[in-house]
Structure 1
Amino acid sequence: MLNDKSHFHGSDLEKVEAIYNINKYDIINFSGNVNPLGVSKNLLELLSKNVNVIGMYPDREYTKLRKQLSKYIGVNYESIIVGNGSTELISIFINIIKPDKAIIVGPTYSEYEREITIGGGSTEYYPLREELDFKLDIEDLKTNLTDDTDLLVICNPNNPTSTSIDNKDIKTILEYCKEKNIYVMIDETYIEFTNEMEKITSVGLTESYDNLFITRGVSKFYASPGLRLGYGICGNQEIMKKINDLKNPWTINSLASFAGEVMFDDTEYIAETKQFIDNERNRIYDILKDFNDIKVFSPTANFILIKILTDNINSHELFEILIKKNMMIRDASTFRFLDNRFFRFCFMKKDQNNLLLDELSKIFK
């Protein structure tokens, strides 16, 4: 039985399996935010044919991988660094700049605060406001970026709100932060899921702003969390040199490096994913926004945040009901600024989404 102090993340299937006696392979994981199309068939085929690369050390500079990424995102490969998931790069970047005080735009992913705290820094949160549908008020944010602020952290699109900030607004933030000698770290984990990615991504701004560091990975869009492949983009070559000097060599294994060299060129998979997510995002939002007992926040990523408006049920109880039907949503009450009226789920395959929608329709009017 789930109590109010027990919460599960998308990667906690083993815990859920043990507590609820449900085979983890039978659980539809609406909490994981991973591409429901799974790993590209093209990638799987190429990996199986090239498994012998595990017999070789990877290039410690990962030059071929970085050049493929350069082609994929449109910046010089010397402005790209790869790591063992984006978490490694976030940790190293924070370790290098050593912020005494960081501002984190929240509610958001908890790892940012953890890494800052480990590094000896303090964190304050700038809250996205529900009355603005969790969209960022840039002018108000500026008033919170005081002279003792060293780092601003933004997740774009943001988890769990699924809201995005246009790069025109990011540029305004960067200009202000540059004047105040504030570094800006932007996590673009979910950027590929957005409908108008070119209007949201800040990658191009790294060429003009040396106070910007961007992180990305392959866990979500490419459905490959087990590869532990992440990459960072930064135009500040002094920062990049420090990261390379501090980073351990060969943190990406040969299979992950090879996978990265081919997955970013898989245009058919990329297009199929974008179209599928866009269709399901619009369909699900259009259905749920007509429910009276919930408030649905317009999503831009591959997941949606929902607020429960009725007193008849809370997010803990909803989790309990659904997990017993082998559907795992995210109880969002553990996110800062949210409570047990909020839950989040990602878009899975259409028939799976329909199962969840059907159950929600029985609970909410």
Structure 2
Amino acid sequence: MVMQLVHQHGGDLDAIERNYGIPKNEIKDFSGNINPLGFPKAAEKALAENLGIISTYPDKKYTSLRQAIAKYTGAAAEHIVVGNGSTELISTFIQTVHARQSIIVGPSYSEYEREVTLCGGAFSYFPLKEEEDFCIDLPALLNALTKDVGMLVICNPNNPTGSAFTSSQLEEILHHCKNIGASVMVDETYIEFSDNLNAICAIPLASKFDNLFVVRGTSKFFAAPGIRLGYGVSSNQNFLDRLKTNQDPWSVNSLAAFAGEKMFADTEYHTTTQKLISDQRKKAFQELSTWKNIKAFPSSANFILLKLLTDKITAAELFEILIQKKMLIRDASSFTFLNDKFLRFCILSPEDNAALLKELKLLIE
């Protein structure tokens, strides 16, 4: 039971430390999908110099924070909401829509189905197919979106496959969903790592479609899971009003709001991150593409999904061997539609990536 729990959750270093006796600060975490550059140094310095703000309440309207996000994303400030991590916003949107039937594009993050179920709704998965490199079959999806569907959930780029919808595909989906009375939630947690961000981003569509909610967090790109800051974009006044009514006052604490303003303005950090991830993702994918016992799937995120083409080892066995070498990968068999042949790793530093690929090659090839 312990092993199953470890395999199902990426980045749970505390569980690894307890179960394997390995100090978590010694583990190279290829499972958590967090920016290897760490928390932005400029924001860290500013926080250290302004810790006195912990004695003050945040602005209830988060005006400065929302303006910083507007500048960063191009969204209208009045369409931006902030929350205690993206999970709070995902939950509130799903509660607001309260769809009897939802479709989740999968394999994907399990939190979506959990929130739909907690709201008393039913859901089904629309499968991204391995033989199509997990890219969307748009006509098939539109055909599945019948009038009994109240909500569609998309992670873009998708976790764990790394595949992405284009903005034009999203626009076609939104038109169709508007006609059938369905809402669409697009989770862009990993989009800032993409080479083609502008070609796949849904935020510009939010002002045009009031059935769209786009959600992002700061845990992955800004390496800040501890501050619990999420934000979303929607022009749906019902949702915006519902959030204001249901959300706890000061849901985002003073330190998180202050750090957010600094992080979103740090353009040097943004460009340095994107170049590092892009270069290392391409290098890793090119190397993996030469191996005979593994398939690497193209990715627009900061991780790569792999499928073992050999029966001599499973993803769970690789997990066990590599954790003893203080390398934590994600056994992806717990994702819907995937099995014990699938694993996922995220991009870290050039040295760490090289070390992981060396070990994987010895074990797989």
| TM-score relative to the length of structure 2 | 0.98
Aligned to 2:110: 110
Aligned to 2:92: 92
Distance 1:46 1:326, change over 3 A: same
AA aligned to 1:38 is G
AA aligned to 1:41 is K
Distance in 2 between the 1:75 and 1:335 partners? Answer: 32
AA aligned to 1:284 is A
Aligned to 1:315: 315
Distance in 1 between the 2:268 and 2:225 partners? Answer: 20
Superposed CA deviations along residues 187-240 of structure 1, whole A, max 9, x for unmatched, are 000010000111111000001001000100100000000010000100122321
Structure 2: state its 5+ residue gaps. Answer: none
AA aligned to 2:64 is K
Deviation at 1:3, TM superposition (A): 4.9
Distance 1:166 1:55, change over 3 A: same
Aligned to 1:13: 13
Aligned to 1:228: 228
Distance in 2 between the 1:4 and 1:43 partners? Answer: 37
Q: Work out whether 1:335 is the aligned partner of 2:335.
A: yes
Q: Give the alignment of 1:232-247 within 5 angstroms.
A: 232-247=232-247
Distance in 2 between the 1:8 and 1:208 partners? Answer: 38
Distance in 2 between the 1:21 and 1:236 partners? Answer: 49
Deviation at 1:364, TM superposition (A): 2.1
Question: Do 1:2 and 1:320's aligned partners in 2 also have CA atoms closer than 8 Å?
Answer: no
Distance in 2 between the 1:266 and 1:326 partners? Answer: 32
Q: Give the alignment of 1:27-66 within 5 angstroms.
A: 27-66=27-66
Distance 1:253 1:5, change over 3 A: closer
The total of aligned residue pairs comes to: 365
Root-mean-square deviation over aligned CA pairs: 1.2
Distance in 2 between the 1:318 and 1:358 partners? Answer: 13
AA aligned to 1:58 is P
SS, match of residue 215 in structure 1: strand
Aligned to 1:126: 126
> Which stretch of the first structure deviates more once superposed, 233-242 or 5-14?
5-14
Superposed CA deviations along residues 294-321 of structure 1, whole A, max 9, x for unmatched, are 0110111100000001000001101011
Superposed CA deviations along residues 89-137 of structure 1, whole A, max 9, x for unmatched, are 0111111111111000000000000001001101100010011010000
Distance in 1 between the 2:9 and 2:32 partners? Answer: 7
Distance in 1 between the 2:212 and 2:342 partners? Answer: 32
Question: Do 1:4 and 1:316's aligned partners in 2 also have CA atoms closer than 8 Å?
Answer: no
Q: Give the alignment of 1:57-76 within 5 angstroms.
A: 57-76=57-76
SS, match of residue 123 in structure 1: strand
Deviation at 1:33, TM superposition (A): 0.1
Deviation at 1:9, TM superposition (A): 2.0
SS, match of residue 82 in structure 1: strand
Aligned to 1:258: 258
Deviation at 1:88, TM superposition (A): 0.1
